Amino acid sequence: MSIILGQRSLSRLEGVHPDLVRVVKKAAAMSDLDFTVLEGLRTLERQKQLYTQKATKTMRSRHLDGHAVDLAPMLGGQVSWDWPLYHRLAGIVKSAAQLESVPIEWGGDWHTFKDGPHWQLPWGAYP
């Protein structure tokens, strides 16, 4: 089974590193869980806004240089914030990254600030 990324999701991948775009598209092609791209490349103004709202803990986000995306599972045509769905999506995205030979980090694996939608290329492999 696979899902088709909508035009909004595809437009949100503009400016994102091609390796990460490949992973997202591969995940969609092999996914039985509908998901959307919430955000890709982010402006400094947007980052400052999120920092002020405490939705992020850094001003050095990988979103600022196109090395991160936020993905969210969809349920009934709506974004879901149900953590078990993020874990299910994580398995799909991690499998896609492995198939594409792209190292990837999931914010849901972080210990201090769990960020279920966040996916990024690691600093070490993509400085």
* Rg of the chain over all Cα atoms, to the nearest angstrom: 14
CA dist., res. 80 & res. 77, Å (int): 9
Of residues 60 and 88, which shows the higher confidence score?
Answer: 88
* Options 3.30.1380.10, 3.40.50.10470, 3.50.50.60, 3.40.50.300; CATH of 7-120: 3.30.1380.10
> Are the beta carbons of 56 and 3 closer than 8 angstroms?
no
CA dist., res. 27 & res. 117, Å (int): 14
Per domain, the residue ranges of the chain are 7-120
> What count of other Cβ atoms lies within 10 Å of the Cβ of residue 106?
21
Residue 57's pLDDT band (boundaries 50, 70, 90)?
confident
Taking only the tens place, the pLDDT of each residue in 108-125 is: 999 988 889 999 999 999
Place of tokens 């919430």: 38
